[in-house]
Amino acid sequence: MALPGPRSGQPLLEVENLQTHFRTKDGVNRAVDGVSFHVNAGETVAIVGESGCGKSVTSMSILRLIPEPPGKIAGAIRFQGKDLLKLSDREMRQIRGNEISMIFQEPMTSLNPVLTVGRQIGETLRLHQGLSAREAEQKAIEMLTLVGIPEPARRVREYPHQLSGGMRQRVMIAIALACNPKLLIADEPTTALDVTIQAQILELMRDLKHRVGAAIVLITHDLGVVAEVAERVIVMYAGRKVEEAEVGPLFRTPRHPYTQGLLGSMPKLGSSLHGEETRLAEIPGLVPSLKAKIPGCVFATRCPHTTDLCRQVAPALEEKAPGHVAACHYALKEEALAA
Amino acid sequence: MTRLLEVSDLKKHFPIKAGFFGGTTGYVYAVDGVSFGIDKGETLSLVGESGCGKSTVGKAILRLFDITAGQVVLDGKRIDDMPAGSLRPLRRRVQVVFQDPFSSLNPRMKVKDILAEPIRNFGLAKDSKELDERVAKLMDTVRLPRDAVNRWPHEFSGGQRQRIGIARALAAEPDLIVCDEAVSALDVSVKAQIVNLLQDLQAELGLALLFISHDLAIVEHMTHRVAVMYLGKIVEVAPKRSLFAAPKHPYTQALLSAVPVPEPGASRQRIILKGDVPSPINPPKGCRFHTRCPYAFDRCRVEEPKLAQPSTAGAGHVAACHLHSLPEAENPLAAAVGELVVPA
Amino acid sequence: MASATVLARPELTRESVSAAPQMPDVLPPVKARKGFIGFLRRNPTIAVGGGLLLIMLAIAVFAPLLWTVDPTALAPARRTREPSAMYWFGTDMLGRDVYSRVLYGARVSLLVGFSVAILSSVIGLAIGMVSGFIRWADSIVMRIMDGLMSIPPILLAIALMALTRGSVQNVIIAITIAEIPRVSRLVRGVVLSLREQPYVDAAVAAGTRTPVIIWRHILPNTLAPITVQATYICASAMIVEAILSFIGAGTPPIIPSWGNIMAEGRALWQVKPYIVFFPAIFLSITVLAVNLLGDGLRDALDPRMAKRL
């Protein structure tokens, strides 16, 4: 398979043929079905898609946060060469929050309401780095300063309910970064926030990317956010990867009809200034059920270009241009385009 | 155009109850003096961040509760103090579509009964045959199959449920639909479907829409005029193009510049506001935005600005900001900001 | 948009395109079964709990046909016999057949359990609706309920029984009164949260009158949590009945109830434990069955759980 290769040596994270299935009462839900990608050290990769595409399940699978049963993870998830799926629970705990950490969508429910902010930041430090209570608090204040919380020495003794939504998300980021992780997984980190607060957090994430140097896997449905922070983008649909490219080429020349549809259905700010009153492009229909096996292309039921071939043969991910792969029989390659 | 709805100096203060028998210890000043009007067939968008009071305005217009002060006038009739009995027939004219497609439909009613309820309440069908016909027509209108009327809400996807919610609103044959974040909870591709549907319906039926949303890109796509709310007050009202080309309130400016744009590498002028929205229980004195405004000066902290047309703005464009009383050379908002997004 | 040029339609065939590799099955396929059997397979707790409860019901109803003798027939000559082929559960200190008494005792327990569950649900529903919908009544009603709830239900029932003559009917009334506060609190909570639901707002906007809103939009949505609560009340009522009878404040001793049988066997516990053992086992199994049914119903009826995955 022609995937864009790692830039130098071994990638930080390498996911190969990841399958995460769930046993449900009325069938097996193939939430993620054969997804492969890699993340290089220090790189920001976005996984985009709509609800039910498997992007969150992918991120939870990397940290092995999927309850088994009813779930089951197959494939390989190599982090610095080690297959995370082969580690014991104990070894896995050593990695979670230490080498790989995660930021969730809901800053309120992911913080413990009965512990102070300082305790929650310090906890991971004391657990993974064996710091004393005093050192942990010192470090917690440092982390709060890093994420731009004013008066960190006071805030460190406060409880989550005393903070606003934006501050709580900053605290979540502080907790996630406390142990200097090599990989940060951010699952819809700004979705629950207001636009002006979202702008603050995105600014913070861009700033921290330079200062901390952790690789980021950003899970989001918002293509605007992707364009602002990501370097490489993976588009998922119905549990599969349908396209992957650097952020520029993906937005300029999307190859997969789903990506094209997604971009076309987004209203763009400033559209009224050019005097154009256009209709939004619709993607008709619904996401297929993941409980039935889909023999052909997963997007065939909604694609404007579908043929019988699409319904019968699932397209392989092919390199359509250097570093740009898409799973569509009809998406042309660069050479063919030029001709 | 004729005025359909006129809201003047609307206030809604929610008491904060505490103690054994629930004495009032304070108020949440959710909406604190809001005035605007909507013409027949027009879309007015109410934008702002969570807690700015935009949904409360919508509910006040629907008279889901009694307002604290002010007036709501529908087609010349004052409805805010009307007794429930005489209000009922007027309710037909203003309907609502809510945000959450899952909690906005009663899970224990079939689609048929959900759509029939307003038709029966307002006596819009003579007999059960006409009722069935109307329900079937509504399904056509929102592009759902007719035979789906016998199904339960949980058998539908989010977008389809939102279509049912729109059909229910249309069942009463309203003049105005309040869309309270009606597309916010939907996925991008489904959102486009519903936005297009709403636009088509407006063109077909001549509906007026009060489009309450926090999503400026959608608002720009849908609306005729925009009212921006901050902490219970309207800070700016303008025709769409005027507002998106040259916002005249610093909050609107910041709001516009904060929207992430799907153009990698686009260079934009960005204003990042500091801090968070203050609590509506204890709103700041003077201009409510002064605690976060990058241009705030002394006058902003003591005197509340009124909505007025800045000399640099076009017709129908009003903003509540003291900067416009400064000489033009000193006013950072005087010049049009022009293109918000400069493609790479 | 540039996208139109990216897609072209050359004549492709199965052979000329590369197919994605087939993904293996990670989990064995699940066969979705429809209908009643499918429902029971998906909800094993309901199947087990409901099954056990049905058996108990059958025992209560068909007690005379299940090789029993008159449970009140005294036979001083055959006192305190051990369990045997003749007396399956032995005989008590008055020579009565414990097997027959335990089977007939199921009638009292189930009657009390079901009656209390239904009565307290209906009354609690009414009180909860009133206080959830009428603002001024709310604080008064709820303070009274708080007061009642501060007394343990068992003590309240004992106190109420002390005021009246012991009879099955009075036992049911006493336990019902003790259980009402819990139901009405639950209903009030559910009503308050349902009132905030957008579909209720939409119904108001659609001109629906308040009584219709209560009947059509509120009531049907309270039934699921009340049904679950009713099963727990049923279980608790059976235990309270047994306790009341055990301490002599409940069902008159002439009627065989599990509490009475245990009370009579108490004196001989050291030497003849089976007199207490058999009614106790039956009581435990019945309570377990009802609780299992309640847990199963809660999982099956809770839309959040149903939506999961």
pLDDT in tens, C20-65: 888 888 888 777 667 788 778 778 888 999 999 999 999 888 888 8
Which token pair is C205? 């906007």
Give the model's pLDDT for residue A336: 59
**Phi and psi angles of residue B129, each rounded to the nearest 5 degrees, phi first:** -70, -45
Asked whether residue B154 carries a pLDDT value surpassing 50, the answer given is yes
Percentage with pLDDT > 90 across chain B: 57
Q: Please tell me the distance in Å from B85's CA to the nearest CA on chain A.
A: 40
Do C97 and C87 meet the contact criterion of CB atoms below 8 Å apart? yes
**Rounded distance between C-alpha atoms, residue A106 and residue C115, angstroms:** 45
pLDDT at C22: 81
Does B269 touch chain A if contact means CB atoms closer than 8 Å? no
Instruction: Give the number of residues written for chain A.
Output: 339
Nearest Cα neighbor of A214 from A14, A7, A42 is A42
Chain C CB contacts of A329 below 8 Å: 12, 17
pLDDT in tens, B299-324: 999 999 999 998 888 889 999 999 98
The answer on pLDDT for A335 being more than 60 is no
**Count of C-beta atoms within a 10 Å radius of residue A206:** 12
What average pLDDT score do residues B140-165 get? 91
DSSP structure class, residue A96: B
- Cβ <8 Å between C208 and B21: no
pLDDT at B338 over 80: no
Of B199, B220, B266, the CB nearest to A271: B220
Record: fold of B3-230: Rossmann fold (3.40.50)
Span C258-272, pLDDT tens digits: 888 888 888 888 888
Portion of chain A with pLDDT greater than 70, in percent: 94
Chain A, residues 212-231, CB within 8 A of chain B, namely: 221-228
Q: What was the pLDDT predicted at C308? A: 36
* Residue of C139, C199, C304 to mutate when probing chain B, most B C-beta within 10 A: C199
B226 DSSP β-pair partners:
B45, B238
Query: Quick one: pLDDT at residue C82?
Result: 77
Task: Please give the mean pLDDT across all residues of chain A.
Answer: 86
- Reading the block at residue B177, the tokens are 């639909």
What was the pLDDT predicted at B185?
85
Question: Is 80 exceeded by the pLDDT of residue A242?
Answer: yes
Contact criterion met (CB < 8 Å) for C201 and B94 = no
Q: How confident is the model at residue A6 (pLDDT cuts 50, 70, 90)?
A: very low
A4-21: average pLDDT: 77
Where does the pLDDT of residue A338 fall: very low under 50, low under 70, confident under 90, or very high at 90 and above?
low
Confidence of residue B336 (pLDDT cuts 50, 70, 90): low
Spell out the long-range contacts of C78-83 with Cβ–Cβ below 8 A and sequence spacing 24 or more: C80/C268, C80/C271, C80/C272, C80/C275, C82/C272, C82/C274, C83/C274
State mean pLDDT over C158-166.
83
Closest CA to C205 of B170, B261, A186: B170
Task: Quote the ipTM score.
Answer: 0.86
H or E element, residue A29: strand A27-39
pLDDT at C160 over 50: yes
CB-closest option in A19, A27, A315 to C26: A19
Q: How many CB atoms are closer than 10 A to CB A187? A: 21
Chain A closest CA to B81's CA: distance in Å?
34
Q: What angle do CA B21, B22, B28 make, to 5 degrees?
A: 175
Query: Taking 80 as the threshold, does the pLDDT of residue A146 lie above it?
Result: yes
pLDDT score at A5: 46
| pTM of this structure | 0.85
pLDDT tens profile C82-120: 777 777 777 777 778 888 888 888 888 899 999 999 999
pLDDT, position C8: 54
Return the SS3 of C71.
Answer: coil
Which chains touch B (3+ CB pairs under 8 A)? A, C
pLDDT value at residue A46: 95
Alpha helix stretches (DSSP H) within B231-289: 240-245, 250-258
Residues 6+ apart with CB under 8 A from C109: C238, C241, C242, C257, C258, C283, C286
The helix, strand and coil proportions of chain B, stated in percent and rounded to the nearest 5, come to: 35, 25, 45
What confidence category does residue B20 fall into, taking pLDDT thresholds of 50, 70 and 90?
Answer: low
Task: Report all structural domains of chain C as residue ranges with CATH numbers, in order of start.
Answer: 85-302 (1.10.3720.10)
- Whether the per-residue pLDDT at B263 is higher than 90: the answer is no
Instruction: Look over chain C and give the mean of its residue pLDDT values, rounded to a whole number.
Output: 83
Q: State the pLDDT confidence band at C68, using cuts at 50, 70 and 90.
A: confident
Please report the pLDDT score of residue B68 as a whole number: 93
Q: How do the domains of chain B map onto residue ranges?
A: 3-230, 240-330
Q: How confident is the model at residue C305 (pLDDT cuts 50, 70, 90)?
A: very low
pLDDT at A12: 92
The C-alpha of A105 sits at a distance from chain B's nearest C-alpha, in angstroms, of 15
Question: Is the CB of residue C32 less than 8 Å away from at least one CB of chain A?
Answer: yes
C-alpha separations of C115 from B20, C185, C286 in Å: 35, 20, 15
- Whether the predicted pLDDT of C5 surpasses 80: no
Per the structure block, which two tokens stand in for C233? Answer: 């009340």
- Nearest CA to B315 among B211, B225, B220? B225
Q: pLDDT class for A199, splitting at 50, 70, 90?
A: confident
